[in-house]
Amino acid sequence: MRYKFNLIFAWLILLLIVPKGFAQTNSSQNKTQVSIDEKSSIQYDTILIRKGWYIPDHIKVQYAGLIGFMSVGAGYEVTDRYEPTLYYGLLTQNFGGSSVTVHTISLKNSWKLFRPGLLGDITPKAGFSVNLGFTNNTFHRLPAHYPNNYYFQNRIHVAPFFGGEWKIDLPGDGFFNAVGLYTEMSTLDNYVLEFIRTKYVTIDKIWNLSFGVSLYIN
Amino acid sequence: MNLNSYAMWFFKKKVHLFAGLIFLMVGCNEIIEYSPYKAGVRSPDEDLNIKAINRISEYSEDEFRPFKLGLVGDSHTYYDYYEKQIRQMNKHDDIDFVVHLGDITLSGIYREFIWFRDITAKLKHPMITIIGNHDYLSNGEYMYQEMFGPLNFSMVYNDCLLVFFDNVIWEKNVEDPDFEWLESVLKDGEDYRYRFVFSHIPPWSDQFNIGNEYYFNMLMDKYNVDLSIHGHTHNYRYKQPYETGPPYLVVSSSQKGEIFFLHVDEDGFYPGREDY
C-alpha cells in the first residue's frame, strides 16, 4: 500500500519535471532565433531581451494555506494554463503561534480554469499542492523500530485547492510587469479522506483560506 | 444577455469576491490553518485537562465516597461512533467524570485535534484525556501539551489516587516510559483508599519489551495499585494476566459501539460495560 502510493508520488513528480524540461529546451531554441530577431528589431529601434531560465516568471508571497504562517515561492508559466510554483513556508512561535517550528516545502501545481483573459483580469484557478513538512515525527519511510505498515508516511501531503487571482498590469517597463492578488481555499488529503469516511466531517469542515500576492517578472 | 457575458460581468464585479470571503470566514470554523503540523491552540482550548481537574476537584471530598467513572478510548477518526459514545455518556447522570484512554487522532494533525475538541465539547461531564501513540505523530505530542497540559499527571479524588501516565515508547524514538516519575507518585500513594493507574498501552502489547513489561507490572505490584486501565488494542479485556499484580482493564475502541464504567464502592470496585 505504502509503496504503491510512493510510486504514485514518484510519477507525479516525474510528470511535473518532464514538461518543465521540455519548456527549458524550447526556450533555449527560441534564444537562437531571438538573436536573429534582434538584428532586425534593432533596425526598428527596439531591443529584445530574453531572460535566462534561472529567472522565474513569477514570485509569490502567501499567508496561511497549510504551508506555514508566511511562505514565499517562485515559479514558471510552463504553458498558457499551467504554472507550477515552488514555495518555502515557515511557522514558528512568533509567526503563527506554534510551539514547534515547522518548515514546509510545497510544489503548487496551478491551472487556469478558463482561457487567459476570458474573464477580464480575474482568473479562476485550481490544482493541487504537494507539501513536504519538516518537523518532529514526520517520516517518509517508517523508522526501523516499527513493524511493517504500522503507520502510513506523514511527511508528504497532497493539498487540493481552488481560488482566483485578480491581476493588475503595471505601467512602465520595470522589473515587474504585473501584480496579482489571489485567494485560495485548500484542503488536505487526510481531511478529504475523513470527509469521505465519516458523516461528522462535512464539506465545510475541511477547507481553509489563504491569501497571497503574485509579482510577474518582465 | 447570454450566459458567457453574464459570467464575464459577474467576474468583473469584484464585490462578490469580498462578499464570498466574508461569508466563508463567518461560515467556516477555523478557516485559517497555518499547517497541519501546527502545535498551538487559541484561548479557550488550552490546558483542557487542567481545567477539567479543577472542575472535578470542586466536588471531590477528603473522605472516601463511592463514585463512578466513564471510560472511552481509541476514538481515532471514528467520529460518528465517538459522537454516539458521547451521547450515550450524557444519558448517565451518575458519572462523576470521564477518562479518555488516548489515541484521540489518527495522524496527530491539527484539524483532528480540533474535531476531537468539537465533539468532546458536547459531553456534559468533565473529561480527562491521556495521550496515545497516534497522538505523538507529527507534532501531536506538542499539540497535546498545548491543548491538554502535561503528559504525566495525577490527582486525588474522593481519597483515591488516580495516576495518568504516558507510556508511549516507539513514537518517542524508543524511549522508555518515565518509570521514575510513576514510582515517585505511587510511593506517596500508599495511604489512599484505592490506587488506579490510567495509561494508553497495556504492558503485554507490542511496544513494550520484556523488561518494560516486567517493570511496569512490578511497580503496580510493589505499590499495591488496585487496577491498571488501558486502551490501544481496540478490544475489551478484563483479566489478571500476571501471577502477581493488579487486574488490568482494556477498553475497546469507539467503533465497537460500547462505553465503559468504573464503579468504585466501599467494599471494592468493578468495571461496567454497556453497548447500545
Residue A69 CB-density burial (10 A; 0-12 exposed, 13-18 middle, 19+ buried): buried
Residue B11 has pLDDT above 80, yes or no: no
pLDDT of residue B28: 53
Lowest mean pLDDT among A175-184, B7-16, B256-265: B7-16
Q: What is residue A51's DSSP assignment?
A: P
Lowest mean pLDDT among A15-24, B83-92, B117-126, B191-200: A15-24
Residue A204 to residue B28, Cβ atoms within 8 A: yes
Residue B203 has pLDDT above 80, yes or no: yes
Q: Does B139 touch chain A (CB under 8 A)?
A: yes
Same domain, residue pair A31 and A72: no
**Which member of B40, B78, B111 has the closest CB to residue A191?**
B111
pLDDT in tens, A191-201: 999 999 999 99
Cβ-contact B245, B216 below 8 angstroms: no
Listed residue (A43, A55, A54, A49) closest to A30, CA to CA: A49
Same domain, residue pair A16 and A78: no
Same domain, residue pair A31 and A110: no
Residue A145 to residue B174, Cβ atoms within 8 A: yes
pLDDT in tens, A84-100: 999 999 999 999 999 99
pLDDT in tens, B113-149: 999 999 999 999 999 999 999 999 999 999 999 999 9
Distance from CA of A200 to the nearest CA of B (A): 6
Longest distance between any two alpha carbons in chain A, whole Å: 72
Place of cell 511496569: B216
Dihedrals phi, psi of B247, to nearest 5 degrees = -70, 155
Residue of chain B whose alpha carbon sits nearest to that of A158: B36
Residue A117 CB-density burial (10 A; 0-12 exposed, 13-18 middle, 19+ buried): exposed
**Which member of B34, B107, B146 has the closest CB to residue A64?**
B34
Same domain, residue pair A117 and A168: yes
Residue A15 has pLDDT above 80, yes or no: no
Same domain, residue pair A21 and A85: no
Average pLDDT (B19-41) is 76
Looking up residue B106, the CATH number of its domain turns out to be: 3.60.21.10
pLDDT of residue B65: 95
Residue B32 to residue A183, Cβ atoms within 8 A: no
pLDDT of residue A1: 44
Looking up residue A83, the CATH number of its domain turns out to be: 2.40.160.20
Pairing type for strands B194-199 and B160-165 reads parallel
Same domain, residue pair A41 and A148: no
Average pLDDT, chain A: 84
Average pLDDT (A59-66) is 96
Residue B251 has pLDDT above 50, yes or no: yes
**Of A65 and B26, which is predicted with more confidence?**
A65
Same domain, residue pair A61 and A130: yes
Cell of residue A30, nine digits: 527560441
Residue of chain A whose alpha carbon sits nearest to that of B20: A183
- Is B15 domain-assigned? no
- Is B11 domain-assigned? no
- Structural domain count of chain A: 2
Same domain, residue pair A209 and A106: yes
pLDDT of residue A53: 84
Q: Which of residues 67-106 of B touch A (CB under 8 A)?
A: 77-80, 83, 106
pLDDT of residue A24: 46
Q: Which domain holds residue B133?
A: 33-275
Same domain, residue pair A23 and A77: no
Distance from CA of B7 to the nearest CA of A (A): 8
Q: How far apart are CA A16 and CA B189, in angstroms?
A: 62
pLDDT confidence bin for B256, thresholds 50/70/90: very high
Residue A137 to residue B108, Cβ atoms within 8 A: yes
pLDDT in tens, A103-124: 999 999 999 999 888 888 899 9
Listed residue (B72, B57, B90, B169) closest to B129, CA to CA: B72
Residues of chain B contacting A204 with CB distance shorter than 8 Å: 27-28
Q: Does B27 touch chain A (CB under 8 A)?
A: yes
Average pLDDT (B271-276) is 94
Mutate which of A202, A205, A206, A211 to test chain B, going by most B C-beta atoms within 10 A?
A205
Average pLDDT (B160-173) is 95
- Is B21 domain-assigned? no
Distance from CA of B98 to the nearest CA of A (A): 22
Residue A29 has pLDDT above 50, yes or no: no
Average pLDDT, chain B: 92
Cβ-contact B42, B31 below 8 angstroms: no
- Structural domain count of chain B: 1
Same domain, residue pair A90 and A138: yes
E runs forming strands in A20-121: 58-63, 70-75, 82-91, 102-112
Average pLDDT (A51-71) is 93
Residue A2 has pLDDT above 80, yes or no: no
Same domain, residue pair A46 and A64: no
Q: Which domain holds residue A4?
A: 1-53
Q: How far apart are CA A145 and CA B174, in angstroms?
A: 8
Residue A205 to residue B8, Cβ atoms within 8 A: no
Average pLDDT (B174-192) is 95
Same domain, residue pair A32 and A63: no
Lowest mean pLDDT among A9-18, B115-124, B266-275: A9-18
pLDDT in tens, A123-173: 999 999 999 999 999 999 999 999 998 999 999 999 999 999 999 999 988
